[in-house]
Amino acid sequence: MSDKARRSIALRESSDAGAESEPLVLLELIQRLKVRDVMTRKLATVPRSATLRQAQMLMRERKISGVPVEENGRFFGLVSVDDIIRALVAGTIDDPCHKHMTTKLVVLEDDMPVAFALRYFDRYHYGRFPVLNRDQRLVGIVCQRDINRALLVELTHELSRLENVMIQTSDADDAYHVYVLREFPVVKYDFENAGKAANQIKKVLQEKRFSPKDIRRIAVAAFELEMNLCVHSDGGVLSWLLANGRAEIIARDGGPGIEDVAWACRDGTSTANEWIRSMGFGAGMGLANVKRVADEFEIASKKGSGTTVKAVIRISAPDALQGASQQPG
Amino acid sequence: MTVLDLAEWLKAEVLVVGEGSHRAIRRVVASDLMSDVLLVDDEDMLLLTSLASDQVLRTAQIVGAVGVIVVNGKALPSSMVAVANDLRLTLATCSLPKYEACVAVARALSAL
């Protein structure tokens, strides 16, 4: 690899200088992923009338340490290894499950962030949690191994994406010697901090002396997407990648999703409430404005799930590389 | 005419002198709707607004405004001065209502 290419694979920068050692990708993942994304959906369950011996056989057969007691989606309790041991000691192993199952349970909801589930594992020291949906139906079960597996898969995807960027950068003749990746968590309705990420992005671009026109387009796209995350989503992450003469801005959130994407991208369409409008936002021009300033625009959304918006802006070489002395705007 | 010249004309109180204070104003935008401000493509714009919030300054920085003048004599939250300093953006406040401020600005610019 040439020195030039090596320089171009510069560094991964975090959202503020003091937090460079924090695993931001991981923090973002545990906020973005929901319990339903990591839970086991194929459940081995028993009805209330099943005996504890039947539950024990099922646990041995499936190599699991707990069986939910459920009928037609309605969750009644859980038979654990402890319940089985107690039944063996007391001679009640042939009693129906509903007599001895554990009913005082801590459960998770399927739309909770994984970060919330991790806090539950830390607080309660249980091996698993049943997962209910909004209708209080049993839809899954989650243990820490499920979470680890899902995080590993997501981290592998992220690493693969970074490797692709690095390969592209090292192959480029004039990669602008720039490779920046930053990620900024955005919290719902956090107007105190909303906009800070875009402001920081603009400052970095000015320091690197890109043209005022390019800086403005990137900054506007980043700001609009950041405000969208704050105003319309349950919270998410704004990622910004600068490499190979391209600025890529990605806004990812975990919900609630957009029902009609084409409608949302039109000028003047908005679901913002009066409170948001009183702060000068929510006029329904955000996504349309991102499309206006971007060279490439993609949006993927599903109602009840999340939204990902990607804007790509092609940029010319910075003034410094062109030997110009124009001041950034 | 710079934002500091205009502030003097409007008898506005300048709270922060930012980087763009020496640049000539090329366009004036009067709006409380930041979504509209983000659609303006001109550099060296002055923003007149009756909205007193940090987001006004963040929006102004994004579009490369030379400064912000908050009209209607609005009491500014203390955070605005800190944000203006951080973003190196000129911030002033004037007691005129927005429409009258616009008229005064138009007169000032046409007097040049």
- What chain A holds in terms of domains, given with CATH numbers, is 174-325 (3.30.565.10)
> Max CA-CA distance within chain A?
88
Q: Please state the length of chain B.
A: 112
Q: Is A323 left (phi over 0), alpha (psi -120 to 50) or beta?
A: left
**Complex ipTM value:** 0.90
C-alpha–C-alpha distance, residues A266 and A270, integer Å? 9
- Containing A274, the helix (H) or strand (E) segment is helix A274-278
C-alpha–C-alpha distance, residues B12 and B64, integer Å? 21
**Element counts in chain B: helices (H) and strands (E):** 5, 5
Report pLDDT for A191: 84
Read off the pLDDT band of A11 (50, 70, 90).
very low
Report pLDDT for B30: 96
Mean local confidence (pLDDT), A1-6: 40
Mean local confidence (pLDDT), B72-97: 94
C-alpha–C-alpha distance, residues A163 and A160, integer Å? 5
* Cβ neighbourhood burial of A109 (10 Å; 0-12, 13-18, 19+): middle
Q: Mind listing the pLDDT tens digit for each residue in A309-321? A: 999 999 887 765 5
Cβ contacts of B56 on chain A, cutoff 8 Å: 280
Mean local confidence (pLDDT), A28-48: 88
Report pLDDT for A328: 41
Cβ contacts of B62 on chain A, cutoff 8 Å: 195, 198-199, 202, 216, 219-220, 223
Which residues are CB-contacts of B31 (< 8 A; sequence separation ≥ 6)? Answer: B37, B47, B48, B49
* Prediction pTM value: 0.63
Which of B43, B55, B79 faces A279 most closely, judged by CB atoms? B55
Which of B33, B41, B56 faces A283 most closely, judged by CB atoms? B33
Q: Mind listing the pLDDT tens digit for each residue in A156-202? A: 887 777 776 666 555 544 445 556 778 888 888 888 889 999 999 99
> For the stretch B28-37, what's the b/e string if a residue is b when 16 or more beta carbons lie within 10 angstroms of its beta carbon?
bbbbbbbbeb
Cβ contacts of B64 on chain A, cutoff 8 Å: 212, 215-216, 329
* Cβ neighbourhood burial of A124 (10 Å; 0-12, 13-18, 19+): exposed
Q: Mind listing the pLDDT tens digit for each residue in B48-73? A: 999 999 999 999 999 999 999 999 99
Asked if the peptide bond before residue A256 counts as cis, ω within 30 degrees of 0, the response is: yes
pLDDT over 70 (residue A240): yes
Nearest-neighbour CA in chain B from A220: distance (Å):
6
Asked if A214 contacts A136 with a C-beta cutoff of 8 angstroms, the reply is no
C-alpha–C-alpha distance, residues A5 and A170, integer Å? 4
Percent of chain A with pLDDT over 70: 81
The CA distances from residue A154 to A20, A27, A28, A33, A324, in Å, are: 21, 12, 11, 9, 42
Q: Mind listing the pLDDT tens digit for each residue in B8-22? A: 999 999 999 999 899
Report pLDDT for A319: 61
Asked if A74 contacts A137 with a C-beta cutoff of 8 angstroms, the reply is yes
Going from N- to C-terminal start, the domains of chain B cover: 3-110
Amino acid occupying residue B91: L
The tokens for A124 are: 């309660």
Residue A91, SS3? coil
> Mutate which of B57, B58, B68 to test chain A, going by most A C-beta atoms within 10 A?
B58
Name the interface residues of A facing B (CB cutoff 8 Å): 191-192, 194-196, 198-199, 202, 212, 215-216, 219-220, 223-224, 279-286, 289, 292, 329
Q: Classify domain B3-110 by CATH number.
A: 3.40.1390.20
**How many other C-beta atoms lie within 10 A of the C-beta of residue A166?**
16
Cβ contacts of A195 on chain B, cutoff 8 Å: 54-55, 58-59, 62
The tokens for A266 are: 């039109």
Cβ contacts of A327 on chain B, cutoff 8 Å: none
Asked if A219 contacts A293 with a C-beta cutoff of 8 angstroms, the reply is no
C-alpha–C-alpha distance, residues A273 and A212, integer Å? 34
